[in-house]
Chains A and B, each alone.
Chain A
Amino acid sequence: MRIVRRDLVRNGPGSVKMVPVDSDDLWFAYNLIAPGDSVMAATVRKVLREAASGGRDAERVRLKLEITVEAVDYDKVGSILRIRGKNILENEHVKIGAFHTLELEQNRPFVLRKKVWDSLALDVLHLMATCTYPGASADLAVILMQEGLAHIFLVGRSMTTTRARIETSIPRKHGPAIAGYESALKKFYDNVLQAFLKHVDFNVVRCAVIASPGFTKDQFHKHLLLEAERRQLRPIIENKSRILLVHTSSGYKHGLSEVLDAPNVMNMIKDTKAAQEVQALKDFFNMLSNDETRACYGPKHVEVAHDRMAIQTLLITDDLFRNADVATRKKYVNLVNSVKDSGGSAHVFSSMHVSGEQLAQLTGIAAILRFPLPDLDDIEM
């Protein structure tokens, strides 16, 4: 995200003009923009005009509109951010108070004006500004597979997208049916290879990981290299060394966290947010299994723990901030701030990452405590 102009007061009103550069930036914008703010951007509006003959004429006009945000919607599949709200800028075509939906696109500047730039928003801004150089992108392409099922994920800086899912039924191999097994398996690998070529661009991703339980990954890797040789697929041949093999216990989506945990993959991504999140969540689960009373999850329990100044590490998903009403958002912001102030650490998980999803399943907020609190059990969740 390129910040063109910044004009704000800490914990006060202000505006920022910025240009999203890649899809991750749209995600950041999604986190920043909350109902009540106002956004100004160039957009297209269908305007009805009365022609001389009395017939209505619809014309698409490019204009600059500023709207107060009512709802923000992020389209994962198409990477589009839609902001819906009422117009507040005087305009010859659009009345004040008319509803409009802005679509924020890449490489188009927009201005965000907020009433209160709280610490969280400033953090996001800071993060966006510093991560502008391409090297910081954690882009990792992961092919997670098992016999008959394969997923292709792209693990980015702040989000993980599922690019493809391939599922086929592969017969078992007994006696005469072996031939059928081989051909079905080969067809499966071909499908996965096609998806791989389509979605994995080695110019963007740092490396590709093939992960599976058993020997499927080795078989697929062999098949991949053979096909690349046969069909002279330059991208794969050149980047042979950037393909890693990792062992997981299953081919389902939650196996992705195991992939990120593997040592050789961890090396690749250790400087990124994704890795930190995975580590923090792992710590939480370890604590839970070792000493149940020193870990808690759920808003009520975490609040109680916070009241007693017991939180050492706070894990929270950004889901909870986004689109919440002002009071709730303020509460969570305060929570994060006070944990940081009291010497603890707070991790804001991106809900688009696997670890963020896992945390979201557990109500979205969890904490590792400084000292055990056994009476939390009695409190309703």
Chain B
Amino acid sequence: MPRKFNHGLDYDDDDYGDEYDDYDYDYDIDSDAEDNGNLPKPNQETDSSSIWRCSICTYDNDQSMTTCDICGVLRNPLPLSGISNGNDLKTASATVRKDNTSAPMSARFSNSSSLMMSKGSNVTGNENNQLKDEEHNLRSSAKSPGTLSSYHEGGVEHTLPMDEIKPPILARSLDSVSINDRGGTGKAASWGQYKPEKWMLPESEDGLLNQLNLAIVGHVDSGKSTLSGRLLHLLGRISQKEMHKHEKEAKLQGKGSFAYAWALDESPEERERGITMTVAVAYFDTKRYRVVVLDSPGHKDFVPNMISGATQADAALLVIDASIGSFEAGMDGSKGQTKEHAQLIRSFGVDQLIVAVNKMDVVEYSNDRFNLIKRQLGTFLRSSGFRDSSVLWIPLSAMENQNLVTAPSDVRLLSWYKGPYLLDAIDSLHPPTRDVLKPLVMPICDVIKSPTMNQVSACGKLEGGALRSGVKVLVMPSGDVGTVRSLERDSRPCAIARSGDNVAVVLQGIDTSKVIAGGVLCHPNFPISIAKHLELKVLILDGASPILIGSQLEFHIHHAKEAARVEKMVSLLDPKTGKVMKKAPRCLLAKQSAVIEVVLQGPVCAEEFSSCKALGRVSLRALGRTIAVGIVTRVIEKEP
């Protein structure tokens, strides 16, 4: 069975990275998910090949369809009681089999949802005869190799031609799923039933470059915004006129050196104080990638904003100030942000890091200083879980434009540095893997309301699936459905946005107050869970104060944040092996790994890490520091 989730540069490997390993246990679940498509369902009603007439649009549908082809109306509205069958993941598949639901499709899916727990249920154990042909279809299609996963729905397969351009096809086949899914806890498995449409899949002869989300992080005043501004200017994204304007204004305010940073820090607050407060997004192109720059704030108070930006990242650029004293200040455990940012980045699953040692001109491009920084920081990065091979070290100077887009011209630097310049380094990064095969998931980073029309724009990075105009999306946590009017990327409209793209989605037909930053756009038939009570597996970072039952923390997940309380400490785990060392510990200290339960003040959209990575990563902060990072292992008590 081909692996569905082709991760490419696989950070799931176990051969390195002590602490963060535990989070990457995807593969087990993946292989389970593969079985979904294959398992035929026992209690199906006989699907005769006669047709039924839709009561609304009078279209003649095939008997196997439970919803109308044209209007999407259910054939037989299901009683709600029948839905809850397969929803409890823990019930054995046997229980599910006993239940009889009237809709063949939903029964199928309810069964597969129980698959998550019952790995034992297999193809052969099935005694259903009616769907033999479907089975056959499933099996054969399952064997098809390549990137197209075999998440086929047999019913769709043999009754319809794969005329993939029209969205309704997917919608129709999924409508039948929806009934079950809406109440279901078996999200991870039922997502296995999702079949992406053809337009969603990336064309191989794209012509378009891959998109790469690059987060720029580092201690405060290390030169992040200036570096980004410089890059944008050198690559022609900022016109000379604009740059001149920035320079003039900056000099006027007495902040001449911030001229380049002002290209990204646009608000008067940021300019006045000379800092970045929220994540600024900019775009530029390199030879291989279309890079989305996420310039994060480095200030300690704005780490929540930095988290919001860094969750979108595929790779990161850690900017270090090489000047004497500044690097040491950045490396300070409690006051410096270098370490905290590096740990947070790693916990978001980013494994490719470029360390840009900035302000080399101040230290006269000294090789010794560079090596010292490399040694000290390198040890820390290694202990955080970054592989040495995936960390690149680039000395540069943003102010003097050395080693950014061309090889360095300064003699001192040329004498000892022979490596790539920054742009080359960015190009040498591996392309990130994209989950196009998953249903749509887009955490909303920003909401822009346009008071003129009843429209609202939601900005964010697509974590799964794809979007294009006209598609209906479900906005969580409110649960309202809206239509996509248009998509915008880099202030230019675009037709299709796929997983990994950072876009602004203009939504129509939805109450503007329902769309909030921290919400998630998802497929109407694959809603994601909202919950207040979660079980997490966390790693306590060092320097953290002890955590007791009842500790009040701030909970950060994708772009949402809430006040949280530690409800229960389930067990203490061995950081190296992940085995349970002690049940119900009294308190958690630094460098420990544990499973805890938290109760949030307000509901957030969250999914188990195994089913959706983007919605499963959490970080816990208290007293201005990041105390712990972790993943959601279980969503307890979902909200309706």
Contact = CB atoms under 8 A, between A and B. Distances in A.
Nearest to B548: A362
B301 to A, nearest CB: 4
A174 B266 contact: yes
Interface string A359-381: 01111000000000000110001
Given A249-B301, A361-B552, A381 B278 contact: no
Interface string B278-293: 1011000000000000
Contacts, number: 94
Indicate the member of B267, B446, B548 with the most A CB atoms within 10 Å: B548
B587 A292 contact: yes
Given A214-B302, A215-B273, A177 B563 contact: no
B518 to A, nearest CB: 9
Given A171-B449, A213-B624, A362 B516 contact: no
Contacts of B623: 249, 258
Contacts of A296: 586
Contacts of B546: 285, 288-289, 292
A176 B277 CA distance: 17
B446 A172 contact: yes
A178 interface: yes
A175 interface: yes
B304 to A, nearest CB: 8
A218 B587 CA distance: 37
Interface residues of A, number: 35
A267 to B, nearest CB: 21
A181 interface: yes
A173 B276 CA distance: 11
A288 B301 contact: no
Contact of B584 (A175, A292, A297, A381): A381
Contacts of A172: 278, 445-446, 517
A361 B550 contact: yes
B133 to A, nearest CB: 52
Contact of B278 (A173, A213, A219): A173
Contact of A175 (B266, B269, B548, B565): B266
B69 to A, nearest CB: 40
A254 interface: yes
Interface string B552-571: 10100000000101000000
B489 to A, nearest CB: 14
Given A214-B302, A252-B563, A362-B548, A174 B586 contact: no
Given A169-B516, A289-B589, A249 B447 contact: no
Nearest to B448: A177
A279 interface: no
Contacts of A106: none
B129 interface: no
A362 B546 CA distance: 13
A169 B273 contact: no
Given A175-B266, A215-B269, A381-B584, A169 B552 contact: no
Contacts of A358: 550, 552
Contacts of A178: 266-267
Given A169-B516, A213-B301, A252-B563, A180 B278 contact: no
B201 interface: no
A297 B554 CA distance: 23
A213 B277 CA distance: 12
A62 interface: no
A250 B561 CA distance: 11
B486 to A, nearest CB: 15
A300 B459 CA distance: 52
A292 B592 CA distance: 14
B549 A362 contact: yes
A253 interface: yes
Interface in B443-480: 445-449, 459
A90 to B, nearest CB: 49
B545 interface: yes
- Most chain A beta-carbon neighbours within 10 Å: one of B280, B513, B550: B550
Given A169-B447, A180-B448, A249-B624, 17 more contacts: A169-B513, A171-B446, A171-B517, A172-B446, A172-B517, A173-B266, A173-B278, A174-B266, A178-B266, A178-B267, A180-B449, A250-B621, A296-B586, A297-B586, A361-B552, A362-B550, A377-B586
List 8 tightest A-B contacts by C-beta distance, closest first.
A361-B550, A249-B624, A254-B552, A252-B563, A213-B301, A214-B301, A172-B446, A177-B448
8 contacts: A169-B517, A171-B446, A174-B281, A253-B552, A296-B586, A362-B548, A362-B549, A363-B549
